[in-house]
Structure 1
Amino acid sequence: MSEVPDAAIKGPNDQASGEIWHAVDADRVLALLLTERGGLSSAEAKARLATYGPNALPEPPRRPAWRRLLAQFDNMLIYFLLAAALAAAVLGHAIDAAVIVAVVTINAIAGFIQEDKAERALSAIRKMISPRAHVWRDGHRVSIAAADLVPGDVVMIEAGDRVPADLRLTRARGLLIDEAMLTGESVAADKQDHPAAPDAPLGDRHCMAFCGTVVSAGQGFGVVVATGGRTEIGRINSLMQSVEQLTTPLLKQINQFAQRFTWVVIVAAAALFAFATLARGYAWPEALIAVVALAVSVIPEGLPAVITITLAIGVQRMARRNAIIRRLPAVESLGATSVICSDKTGTLTRNEMTARRIVTADHTILVSGSGYVPQGQLLSEGRVDADANQAALPLIRSALLCNDAQLRQAGEHYVVDGDPMEGALVALAIKAGFDPAAERSAWQRSDEIPFDAQHRFMATRHSTASGDHVIFVKGAPERLLAMCQSQSSAVGPRPLDHQFWTEQIARAAAEGERVLGFAMRAPVRASDQLGFADLECGLMFLGLVGFIDPPRDEVIQAIAECRSAGISVKMITGDHAATAEAIARQLRLTEAAGAVSGADLDRADDDEFSALIHRSDVFARTNPEHKLRIVRALQGSGAVVAMTGDGVNDAPALKQADVGIAMGHKGTETAKEAAEIVLLDDNFVSIVAAVREGRTVYDNIRKVISWTIPTNGGEVLSVTLAILLGFAMPMTPVQILWINLILTVTLGLVLAFEPTEPGTMSRPPRAADAPLLPPFLVWRILFVTLLFTMGTLAIFFFAQAQGHTLETARTMAVNVLVVFKTVYLFNVRYLHASSLSFRGALGTPPVLIALAVVIAAQLAFTYAPFMHTLFGTAPVSLQDGLVIIGAGAVMMVVLELEKLLMRRSGALRRLGV
C-alpha cells in the first residue's frame, strides 16, 4: 500500500476530510488526532467539544410560524366553514359570519399551539432516548451521551450498539457491522483493523465504522475521526430513524369519518334548504343562513384536534412515568394489551447483581454483602476458612481478569461501567483482597474473544512479567463443562466430575441464583490472535459463582394489578429453568408448576406449542427464535402482545409484538430502534403504569367522541323539527353559532385532560379491532339527541306558554341546551361509574376553569345589553333561571339512571364499553 502523506490527512483542527482515514495505520491516526489508546483527557475533550460542537446531525429547518398557522386551515371541514362564513357575509349576516370565522380561527390557533408543543415534546423525547457511547476518558472507561463525542475520542463498540460517530478502528475482534443504510449491502460487513486501499469504495473500507450503522456481532475499538454533520451519514443528510410525527391510525380514522360526515351534512343541508324554501316558504337568504348554521354546528371540526391533544397529553404523562413513546400508535395498542411478555433481569428484578456463592471442587463459600458495594466476607460454614478462601483465589482472579467492567464510587453509591454481573465479580474480587487495578496491570491482557450469545462464553489471554501466558474463560457453566477435560482441586488437576458440577448448578439455580462457570488454560503460547482453536483442549474448570438479583418489591403488586386487569404476564428468560421458577415464585407470577424450557418448545409441534404457551407463564433457556414464535402464537390466538427486550436477539420479537418495549438503561440501540416504547428505568412497574395511561388515553378519546357528537344532535334536531313542522325556530342561526363557539373552545377540550377513571385496571382489555362508533356510542347519539331535543323544546314551549317574548323563549332554550351539554360532560367523565359523587361533582381544574368561562359567557349572553343587540337575546328572570337549572338536574338524573341500568344489566360491556 502506498504511503499517504500527512498533507492528505486532516488533523483534529480540520475535521472535514474523512476520505483518507481508512488508508492510514491506526497508530498514525492516533498521532494525527493528538490522542492515544487510553483516550483524551476530560479537559481536552471539553475543549474539542467547544470547537467542533455536539455530535449531532443538523436539525431539519422548521417551517416558519406563518406557514404552520396557515396549514391549520388546510382541511375540508375548514374549507366548508369558511365558505359558510363567506355566504353569511354576502347575505348581510355580518354577526353570523364573524362567529363562524371566530370558531375557525380559535380552532386553528389551538391546533397551532398544540403542534408547537408537540414538536417541542418530541424534540425532548429524542434527547431522552439518544444513544450512549462507551469511551475512554482520562484512561478510564465511561459512558457518555453520543452527542458529547469529539474527534480523538477512543470508543468501544459491541454487538447491538449503534455506531455513535465515524470511527477508524484500532482493534476488531469478530466485528460485523450492518452498513445497509449507507451501502445497500444486505450482508453485514466484516471489519478489520489494518488499513484499506486509499481508493477503496465506502463498502470496502474494512477498518472504518460509520455513524448510524449497527454492530451485528463482535467487539471493536476505534478512534473518532468525524462527528455530527461531517460523518458519512451527515454528508448525505440521511437522518436516523426518530420519533414519528403526531399521526396514528385512530387519527386517520377520525379524519376520514369527519370528511365523510361532512359530505353527509352537506347533502342533508341541501335537502333541508330545498324543503324550507319550497315547502315552507322561507325566504332563501334566511333559509340558507339557518341551514349553514345547523351544518356548522353539527360538523365536529374540532374533533381531530382534541383527539391529537388527548394523545399528546398521554405521551407526556407516560414520559413522566419513565415510558417514552417512540411511535404514537403504541398509545392506542397499550390500551388493548392482553399479554405482557417480560424479560426477567432488571425488569422484574433489581438488576443489582451480587456474587453470593462460590463453589470449587473442595469447598462452598457464601459471600456476604449486597449490591455493588465491595464490602463483605467470604464464609465457609458460617466462618472465615483460610484454606477455602485460598482455594478460591484462582477462580476469583479469573473472574476479575476475564472482565471488562469498572467499579467506581459515585457519592454514597457504587456504579458499574459495563455488565452488571461483571461488576459484581469486581466487587467480589475486592472482598477477597484483590486490587483490581494492580491485578490487571500485573496480568496484562493481550487478546480476547468477546462474549456472544451464540457461543455463550468470553475468553481473554494474559501475560505476566515472567513471560507466562494464560487463558481465562467465563460463561454458561454447561458450555464450559463441555469444553473442559479436568478440574482444579486442592491436590492439583483431576478428571472433570460432570455429575458433581451438574448437581451444584441445579442447587444454586433452585435458590434463584444465576450461575457462571470459570476455566483456565496455562501455560499457553503467545499467538497473533486468540482463536477458538486455543480453547479446544487443555481447559481446566475452576468452579462456579452464583449470583442473586432480588425481585423488585413493587413488581409483586404490579403483577397482581395486571391479573385484575385481565392481562397475563409471562416471563421469558435465557436463565436456567430453576432460577426462573424461583424468581417466579417470589413474584407470585404463576400458580402453574415448573417452567417450560427452550428444549421443550423445540420438541413441540404447532398444536402442542400453542397449548404450552397458554398453559405456562415461565419460559427459560429461550433463544430469539423461541421469543418470536411465542409472540406469534399468542397473536394467532387473538392476544394483543407487549414484549420487552434489551438485546440484539430481542429485536425480531420486539418488531413482531403489538407493542415493543425496550430497556433504556441496559437496552442496545438495536432493541430501541425495534421498539415502540423505551423504558427509562427498565422497571416492569413502568410498563403497567404505561398500560394504565394507555387505557386512560383511549377512555378519554372515547369520552371526547361520546360528548361531541351527541350534544350537537340536540340543537340540530330541535331546529330541523321547527322547519319540518312549521313552528318558530327555538334558536336563531347566530345563536346556534354562539353555542358552537363558546362550547367548542371550553368544554370541548377539557375531556382530554381527564385523569385515570377508578377501576380502569379492573376491566378486561378492550378489543383491538374496536370500531370508531361502537354500539354503545350509536345508542348514546340517539338517546342523548332525543333527550336534548325534548328538553330544549319543552323549555321553549314552556316559555311561550308563560307569555314570554320569542327572544326570551329562545334565550331560555339556548341556556338550557348549554346546561344540558354541561351536565352531560359530567356524566361522560365516568363511563364506568356513577358521576353522582363528591369526586364527580368536584371536577378537575381544566373542567372547573372551562365551567367558569361558560357560566361567565352565558351570563353575558343573557344579561349584557350589547349581547342582546348582537344575538337577539333577552334577560331571564330568577324563577325561569331556576327552571333551567332544574331541567339540568333532571337531565343528570335521567342520564345517570340510564348508565346505572346499563351497567347493572351488563349492557355496557355488550355494547363495547
Structure 2
Amino acid sequence: AAGDSKRSLGRQLVELLPEKLAHLLAHLICVDTMDESFLEVNEATGATGFKGNPTECALLSLVAEMGYDYAALRHDTPGRSLATAARGKPFMFSSKRKMMSWAVPLPRGGYRVYCKGASEIVIARCDAMLSASGEAAPLSDAKRQQLMETVVRPFAGEAYRTIALAYRDLPGVKSASSKELEATHSTMTNADGSAAYVAETGLTLLALTGIADPLRPEVPGAIERCNRAGIDVRMVTGDNLDTAVAIAKNCGILRPQDLEPDPAHAAGERPKPKRALEGREFRALVHRTHADGSLALDEEGKPEFLQTQFDKVWPYLRVLARSSPADKLTLANGLNKSTVFADAQQVEELRREGIVVFPDRQVVAMTGDGTNDAPALKRADVGFAMGVAGTQIAKDACDIVLLDDNFASIVVAAKWGRNVYASISKFLQFQLTVNIVAVSLAIIGSIVFQESPIAAVQMLWVNLIMDSLASLALSTEPPSEELLARPPVNRSTSIVTRQMWINMLGQAAYQLGVTLFVLFHGAEHFHVLDGHDVDNSKPSVHYTILFNAFVLMTLCNEVNCRKLEGEFNVFAGVCSNAWFVGVLLGTLVLQVLAVQFGGRALRCAEGGLTTHQWLFCVGAGLFSLVWQQALNCYSLLSRRVDARRKRIKKKPAHGGAVKFMSRTGNGFQEFRRSNPYLGKSLSTLRFSPSSKTAPDLISAVAGTGPVAVSRPSSY
C-alpha cells in the first residue's frame, strides 16, 4: 500500500485498517508525543511546517494525513490535556531507556500506558501484538525474530529510522501517583543496565514505523570536502546499527575500504571489525569490566576508562550506534588524551590499512543538540550546537552555533577558521620582513654614519599608515577552497613555517641590498648630494629616494604575502577582494602625496623626486615580484631534495643483495648486515661456484661459516 504514490500513507491506512484500530494508532501518537512537537500551516502558502523533534513531527504528520486533529485528540484525552495534566503520568524519553511513555486514565477505570521507542527495545518488551483486524495474539520469540528480520532490518537497511508503537492496560492502577506506575522490574533492564519500569513491560505491539530521514543533498559533498581537508568525520547516533550503517554509507562516512563482502547481508557487504559498533559494545571495549560483563566503577562511581584500550578502538571506529551522551563524552575525552600519533609502529600498521592518524594530539569537534550533550560539547576542542533543534543549555556549552542545523555549515566554519590563521600568518610574514629591513638599515646607518637613514617620522609613517592598512588588506582576504586542500596545522608546528622564512629572509635580503646600494652609492648614481653630508635640518633627495624605494618594495611585497605556500601566481583571486585592491591603491596614492608634497613634515625633499628617480623606485618595487618567483623556485627545489632524502632514509638498512647459483636454478634474497662482507656498498656479491651449494651459502652469509667471495669484474 505504501507504494501507491497517488494517495498519502495516512489515507491508505484509514482505508485498510478498521476504524477502531486506526483511531487507536492516531490516539497513541498524539498522546505519546511532546507538546514542543507540533505542525504549523503557513496561511499564505498552505505549506505545513514542523517544529520540535523531527521524529515526532513525522508521526504527527501521519496522524494529519489520516484525517485526525492531533491537538483536539490531546485536548480531549484526560491526563494529556493541559487542564487534566495532573491525572496523567509521563515517562519522558531518555537515552538510557531509548523509549518514551505516557500513562492516561481509561473511561472504564484503570490506566493505559502508551509507548513508543527503539524498535528492538520495544519489541523485546511486548508479549502480544495486534493483527490487522484488531485482535491481540501472543508474540513468541520466533515472531519477534521474524519481525526483526522481515520488517525492522529491511527498513534500517534503507536508512529508515524504525520506531515501535505499543501500549499496555493497567486495570489495577487508580491514579497517576500509584506505586504500580513507579515499580521497577526485577530482571528486565534498560539500555544502560538500570531496572526497567514494570509499566513499560508486557506491552502489546501496535505498529512498526519506518521514518525516512533523508540526507540533505549537500551533506555527502561536505563530508568529502572534510576528508580532503584532513577532517575525519565519525557518526555518533541513537539510531540502531543497521540504520546508522546505511546512512553512513550514503553520506561517505563509511568508505569502500571500511567494508568487506558478506553474501549473507542484504546489501552484500558489511563493515569491517570495529568500524561500526553499538554503544554497549563500545563501552565494554573501552572500560574495565567484571567477569559478568558489567562495567567496573572507579572511586568516583564512574565506569573505569581504559585509555590503552580506547586507543586500540578509535582509529577504526566510523559509526557508533545506539549511543548515549556519555559515549560522546568518552569519545571527546579519550581522543583529547590519545597518544596514538607517538606510536610509530601502530601508525604504520594503521597506514597499511588505509587509516591516517593526525601526527599530533587529536583536535576534536563535537556536534549536539540535547541538554545531555552539553558535557561533551564543553569537553571537545570545538563544540557545535544546533541553532534550530538545539536546547539553550547545549547552545550555552558550545563554541559555535549552527543557525541552519546544516552539516555543510561546519565545513564553512572550518574554512573560515583556517582563513583566520592564514590571515595572521600573512600579516606576520609582511610585518617581520618590514622590521628585518628597517632594523638592519637603522643599525648599519647608525654604525657607519651615526644616524639612521630613515627618519623617525618616516618610520612612524611606515608603522602607523602602511602597516595598519596592510593588516586590514591581508585580514580581509576571503577564504578559498585551497584552504581545505591543505592538511591541518599541528599544535607543535611553529606559526612561522619554512616557506615563510624563505619568503621573509629572501625578500629582506633583496630589500636590504637595494636600500644599502642607495645608501652607499645612491648619491653618486643619481647625481645628488650625499644624505649624510647634508644639514640635518634640510631633508635630502638621497634619503628620500631610499625611503621611497623601501616603501614601494614593501607595497609590492604585500602582494607576495597573499600566498604562504610558495604559489607562483600571487595575483590569483586578487580581484575578488575589493578591500585589498582599495587599500593597496590608497596606500600608493598616500605614498606619492607624502613624497611629492610631504616636505619637511615627513622629512622628504622639497619638490619631491624626478621621473628618473621615481622609475628607479617603482622598478625596485616591481622587481620584488620577480624575486619572489625565484624564491618559490628555490623552495620547490629544496622540498624535492628533502623528500628524496626522506625516501632514501626510509629504505631498510641492509648490506645489499646476494645472488647465488645452484643446481636447482637462480635465486635472489636480501640479507641484513650480519656479515662483514655485507657492510660494504656492494649491490651484488658473487660466490665462487666451487665453494658451497646454495643452502650452505645462505648459512655462511648469516654468519655460521666461511664463504669465498670474488670481486665482480663489472663492479
Q: What's the offset of the Cα at 1:389?
A: 8.1
Is 2:415 aligned against 1:692? yes
Query: 1:795–1:813: 8 Å Cα contact kept in structure 2?
Result: yes
- How far apart, in 1, do the equivalents of 2:642 and 2:12 lie? 60
Q: Deviations over 1:157-216 (max 9, x none)?
A: xxxxxxxxxxxxxxxxxxxxxxxxxxxxxxxxxxxxxxxxxxxxxxxxxxxxxxxxxxxx
Is 2:465 aligned against 1:764? no
- How far apart, in 1, do the equivalents of 2:279 and 2:601 lie? 79
SS at match of 1:451: strand
SS at match of 1:745: helix
Counterpart residue type for residue 428 of structure 1: L
Query: 1:730–1:793: 8 Å Cα contact kept in structure 2?
Result: no
Counterpart residue type for residue 282 of structure 2: L
Q: Which of 592, 612, 621 pairs up with 2:313?
A: 612
Q: With structure 2 as the length reference, what TM-score do the two structures score?
A: 0.70
Q: Deviations over 1:45-100 (max 9, x none)?
A: xxxxxxxxxxxxxxxxxxxxxxxxxxxxxxxxxxxxxxxxxxxxxxxxxxxxxxxx
Is 2:409 aligned against 1:409? no
What residue in structure 2 maps to residue 386 of structure 1? 16
- How far apart, in 2, do the equivalents of 1:687 and 1:902 lie? 33
- How far apart, in 1, do the equivalents of 2:333 and 2:382 lie? 13
What residue in structure 2 maps to residue 426 of structure 1? 60
Alignment of 1:222-241 (within 5 A): none
Larger CA deviation: 891-900 vs 812-821 = 891-900
Alignment of 1:286-685 (within 5 A): 366=2, 376-379=9-12, 386-387=16-17, 391=21, 393-404=23-34, 405-411=37-43, 412=45, 413-444=47-78, 445=80, 446-447=87-88, 448-463=90-105, 469-489=111-131, 490=133, 492-496=135-139, 497-503=143-149, 504-522=151-169, 524=171, 525-529=173-177, 531-533=181-183, 535=199, 538-591=202-255, 592-593=258-259, 594=271, 595-605=276-286, 606=306, 607=308, 609-635=310-336, 636=338, 637=340, 638-685=361-408
Q: What's the offset of the Cα at 1:684?
A: 0.7
Instruction: Mark the CA change 1:651 to 1:736 in structure 2 (over 3 Å): closer, same or farther.
Output: closer
Instruction: Mark the CA change 1:528 to 1:728 in structure 2 (over 3 Å): closer, same or farther.
Output: closer
Instruction: Mark the CA change 1:781 to 1:830 in structure 2 (over 3 Å): closer, same or farther.
Output: closer
Instruction: Mark the CA change 1:613 to 1:872 in structure 2 (over 3 Å): closer, same or farther.
Output: closer
Query: 2:325–2:376: 8 Å Cα contact kept in structure 1?
Result: yes
Alignment of 1:709-724 (within 5 A): 709-724=432-447
Query: 2:502–2:635: 8 Å Cα contact kept in structure 1?
Result: no
Instruction: Mark the CA change 1:632 to 1:596 in structure 2 (over 3 Å): closer, same or farther.
Output: same
- How far apart, in 2, do the equivalents of 1:755 and 1:903 lie? 26
- How far apart, in 2, do the equivalents of 1:537 and 1:821 lie? 77
RMSD of aligned alpha carbons: 3.0
Q: What's the offset of the Cα at 1:428?
A: 0.6
Q: What's the offset of the Cα at 1:837?
A: 5.6
Q: What's the offset of the Cα at 1:453?
A: 2.3
Q: Deviations over 1:143-169 (max 9, x none)?
A: xxxxxxxxxxxxxxxxxxxxxxxxxxx
Instruction: Mark the CA change 1:572 to 1:560 in structure 2 (over 3 Å): closer, same or farther.
Output: same
Counterpart residue type for residue 486 of structure 2: R
Query: 1:776–1:908: 8 Å Cα contact kept in structure 2?
Result: no
* Unaligned ranges ≥5, structure 2: 81-86, 184-197, 260-270, 287-305, 341-360, 532-539, 644-715
Q: What's the offset of the Cα at 1:899?
A: 2.6
- How far apart, in 1, do the equivalents of 2:615 and 2:623 lie? 12
Q: What's the offset of the Cα at 1:588?
A: 2.1
Is 2:596 aligned against 1:863? yes
- How far apart, in 2, do the equivalents of 1:622 and 1:441 lie? 35
Query: 2:10–2:62: 8 Å Cα contact kept in structure 1?
Result: no
Q: Deviations over 1:630-685 (max 9, x none)?
A: 22333314211111111133222212211111111111222222211111111111
- How far apart, in 2, do the equivalents of 1:368 and 1:430 lie? 18
Larger CA deviation: 696-705 vs 530-539 = 530-539
Instruction: Mark the CA change 1:481 to 1:668 in structure 2 (over 3 Å): closer, same or farther.
Output: same
Q: What's the offset of the Cα at 1:437?
A: 3.5
What residue in structure 1 maps to residue 263 of structure 2? none
* Unaligned ranges ≥5, structure 1: 1-364
Is 2:528 aligned against 1:804? yes
Query: 1:902–1:908: 8 Å Cα contact kept in structure 2?
Result: no
Give the percent of matched residue pairs that are identical in Structure 1 and Structure 2. Answer: 29
SS at match of 1:581: helix
Counterpart residue type for residue 693 of structure 1: W
Alignment of 1:163-242 (within 5 A): none
Q: With structure 1 as the length reference, what TM-score do the two structures score?
A: 0.55
Query: 2:395–2:401: 8 Å Cα contact kept in structure 1?
Result: yes
Instruction: Mark the CA change 1:396 to 1:569 in structure 2 (over 3 Å): closer, same or farther.
Output: same
Counterpart residue type for residue 328 of structure 2: K
Alignment of 1:101-120 (within 5 A): none
Query: 2:453–2:543: 8 Å Cα contact kept in structure 1?
Result: yes
* RCO comparison, higher one (Cα < 8 Å, 6+): 1
Q: What's the offset of the Cα at 1:839?
A: 3.6
Q: What's the offset of the Cα at 1:705?
A: 1.0
Counterpart residue type for residue 366 of structure 1: A
SS at match of 2:253: coil
Query: 2:112–2:167: 8 Å Cα contact kept in structure 1?
Result: yes
Q: Deviations over 1:260-290 (max 9, x none)?
A: xxxxxxxxxxxxxxxxxxxxxxxxxxxxxxx
- How far apart, in 2, do the equivalents of 1:368 and 1:399 lie? 23
Instruction: Mark the CA change 1:885 to 1:495 in structure 2 (over 3 Å): closer, same or farther.
Output: same
Instruction: Mark the CA change 1:577 to 1:758 in structure 2 (over 3 Å): closer, same or farther.
Output: closer
Q: What's the offset of the Cα at 1:483?
A: 2.8
- How far apart, in 2, do the equivalents of 1:839 and 1:797 lie? 37
Q: What's the offset of the Cα at 1:467?
A: 5.8
Q: What's the offset of the Cα at 1:418?
A: 3.0
Query: 2:559–2:570: 8 Å Cα contact kept in structure 1?
Result: no
Is 2:560 aligned against 1:827? yes
- How far apart, in 2, do the equivalents of 1:536 and 1:549 lie? 27
What residue in structure 1 maps to residue 427 of structure 2? 704
- How far apart, in 1, do the equivalents of 2:241 and 2:49 lie? 29
Q: What's the offset of the Cα at 1:901?
A: 3.0
